[in-house]
Structure 1
Amino acid sequence: MRDIAESIAVWQAAGVRFAVATVVRTWRSAPRRPGAAMAVAENGEVYGSVSGGCVEGAVYEVAREVLDSGEAALRTYGVSDDEALEAGLTCGGTVEILVRPADDAHFPELPYVLGRITAERPVAVASILSGDLPPGGNLVVAPDTPDGSPGSSPGVTVRGTLGDGRLDGAITEQARGMLAQGRTGVVRVGRHGERRMDRLAVFVQSFAPPPRMLVFGAIDFAGAVARMGKFLGYHVTVCDARPVFATRKRFPDVDELVVQWPHRYLEEHPVDGSTVICVLTHDPKFDIPLLARALRTPARYIGAMGSRRTHEDRLARLREDGVPESALARLSAPIGLDLGGRTPEETAVSIMAEIIALRWGGTGERLTRTELPIHH
């Protein structure tokens, strides 16, 4: 829902009634992951996608029914189902989709959720899918200073309910753990939150802050990489020690533009396991202290631009600085996949393709030459 949050916030502010369809479970080669969402307004307008085009038509009709009835609905579309084939799910896999009304009467917590999402602050939403309670109902959990809402406790704000206080407490703890890991999925508990698997299925959707992309070196290639990073949902920072290059005119859309020595910036700002670091300066006076620091962080990806000869020199300098071989093995250099591109934009595609492949376990091979699942 993150990608449609701003759009549905406009609907809400204007008093437009709408329903939200969310992918809650997938099997095999489903085109989109749990959490993907599509919103349908009472005037017929649509934002988002739940399957990349396969079942949107069928889900649209369900959303219209949900708007009329005011009751949430759970639908499953699989390649072997007649309904799914009519809907167009010919790409394989199975998706389960929760469709629920999102007006003040049925989801009063939504403005709070949208506010957290747009402010890039963590929040989780739990909803019952199946069991002896009806689908729907929302429990919102935010790891934050409590605001006095019922159920709030030190370090967490809780809004809404799933219909049972003990169930709310159990799911709150589950949601806090899943949110800390940035994980979205289904948990199974007893009717009152007991550790049993036969009563309730609860979907927990985590909205963690977007991952960070740190681009060092304010060159033309950096502009293309930054634009691609923003397009893919990263919070993008461009950093360079040279103020003549690090200007808003050259980088108008980045979230943060910093004029500072790169290694000093990295020393002063935390890096987590979702952060990607792109070092594009290929200048030893910047690269060596920066990479020596970067390779001590838990960053998911660290890539450095430059020729193979430049990289060999870089490795020798880093070894002289005492960087161990195990850390050097984490370095992706020369940066990117072998796509044969030459322009800044083509190079940016190459770099982001490598980052995506690393994130999801892709091979970087042409799909026509593999027999692996399309969606890992």
Structure 2
Amino acid sequence: MITCFQQLAQALTYGPAVLATVVSIRGSVPREVGARLVVDAQGQAFNTIGGGAGEAKVIAQAQTVLQTGESQIVEIDLTGAPHRQTQGVCGGLMQVWLERWQGKDALALAQTIVQRLQAGQSVTLVTPLDGNGTPYLSEVPPDLDPAIAFVDTLQPPPLLLIVGAGHVGVQLAKVAHLAGFAIAVQDDRPDWANERLYPQATYRLTQPIEPALATLADHQNLYAALVTRGYTYDLEALTHLLSRPIPCTYIGMIGSEKRVRQVYQTLEQSGLPRSSFANIYGPIGLDIEALTPEEIAVSITAELIMVRRGGTGRPLSERLRHPMVANP
């Protein structure tokens, strides 16, 4: 979402732009409510609401909105119904609100959204749908009729703290950043935790783990991947991560089952109840038989996405290939 509003802010520096927002869905569709794309004054589109003929329809209609300034709803029909023109066969319907943004006030609003999301804060954007107002921010989500306004609380991107800046960490930063995670890396070796190896990182922390976590104390959506160079570093990191006032959304730890069990036993012996680390993902990642640092990074990122989106990690083809498999 930060990227989308960055693109919008950039587009507004050289002319008006249309922000297309998915405000309603029904059935099987490629994107969720709140998905957005930007169409700038030259007709270039940034971001995506699902691609294909449906997105092409929205981009074409955006040209009209750019010219007239009149907001409109565009319906994308993905039912595949034979008796009418549809834009796909996914099975559902999407409604997309197209609104022209222009001028200094619109640019200031887009920039404020970006700044607050970058600071790790959520922000509520209210978009009137009756044609009698412009988008605005609200400190508290208002209770408005969905037919009158679209209220969307935008969340900052999840922050992935990579503990251990070795070969796996380097590749994990690349893949996780591509998947939408902000990146922080912690390692006491400046030769590893640096801008050259981690250009994606917002934070490069070369102090011990305790003061490093203090730097991230206010982040409410912290994911941690322990890909350290040794058992003692895992223990130290877990001790501080598990006592963090704001619990981590995810903690994963690389290593064999034997190494993971040894860490758990040591934590228990130190007085930590087993219930406090029952939800640690160790060994880290999904089982795809990953071997290289690049493959391991894909495995870990897949698990991060699974936790973030609430997936199962099972093959999407499973029910078609094995029809008798029960739903999860």
Q: TM-score range by the shorter chain?
A: 0.7 to 0.9
| In the alignment, structure 1 residue 97 sits paired with structure 2 residue 44 | no
* 2:75 corresponding residue in structure 1: 76
Taking a change above 3 Å as real, the CA distance of residues 21 and 242 of structure 1, as seen in their structure-2 partners, is same
For residue 337 of structure 1, report the CA deviation from its aligned partner: 0.3
For residue 111 of structure 1, report the CA deviation from its aligned partner: 1.1
| In the alignment, structure 1 residue 368 sits paired with structure 2 residue 317 | yes
SS at match of 2:75: strand
Contact 1:224 1:344 in 2 (8 A): yes
- Which residue identity lines up with residue 304 of structure 2 in the other structure? I
- Which residue identity lines up with residue 66 of structure 2 in the other structure? L
1:342-361 correspondence to structure 2 within 5 Å: 342-361=291-310
Taking a change above 3 Å as real, the CA distance of residues 93 and 58 of structure 1, as seen in their structure-2 partners, is same
Match of 1:220 among 160, 164, 167: 167
- TM-score under structure 2 length normalisation: 0.87
Contact 1:271 1:299 in 2 (8 A): no
* 1:299 corresponding residue in structure 2: 248
Structure 2 residues not aligned, in runs of 5+: none
For residue 224 of structure 1, report the CA deviation from its aligned partner: 0.9
Contact 1:282 1:305 in 2 (8 A): no
For residue 116 of structure 1, report the CA deviation from its aligned partner: 2.2
- TM-score under structure 1 length normalisation: 0.76
Give the RMSD, CA atoms, in angstroms: 2.6
Deviations 1:63-85 (A, max 9, x none): 12222322110122233476997
Contact 2:24 2:33 in 1 (8 A): yes
Taking a change above 3 Å as real, the CA distance of residues 247 and 81 of structure 1, as seen in their structure-2 partners, is closer
* 2:114 corresponding residue in structure 1: 118
Q: In the aligned structure 2, how far is the partner of 1:8 from the partner of 1:366?
A: 36
* 1:242 corresponding residue in structure 2: 189
Taking a change above 3 Å as real, the CA distance of residues 342 and 46 of structure 1, as seen in their structure-2 partners, is same
* 2:136 corresponding residue in structure 1: 139
Contact 1:21 1:97 in 2 (8 A): yes
Q: In the aligned structure 2, how far is the partner of 1:217 from the partner of 1:81?
A: 49
* 1:180 corresponding residue in structure 2: none
* 1:203 corresponding residue in structure 2: 150
| In the alignment, structure 1 residue 279 sits paired with structure 2 residue 278 | no
Match of 1:329 among 278, 283, 293: 278
* 1:45 corresponding residue in structure 2: 44
Taking a change above 3 Å as real, the CA distance of residues 244 and 66 of structure 1, as seen in their structure-2 partners, is closer
Would you say how many aligned residue pairs link Structure 1 and Structure 2? 316
Structure 1 residues not aligned, in runs of 5+: 144-172, 176-186, 190-196
- Which residue identity lines up with residue 138 of structure 1 in the other structure? P
Q: In the aligned structure 2, how far is the partner of 1:84 from the partner of 1:360?
A: 35
Q: In the aligned structure 1, how far is the partner of 2:159 from the partner of 2:298?
A: 18
- Which residue identity lines up with residue 250 of structure 1 in the other structure? L
52-61 vs 216-225, which deviates more?
52-61
Deviations 1:204-236 (A, max 9, x none): 233333221111011010011111222122221
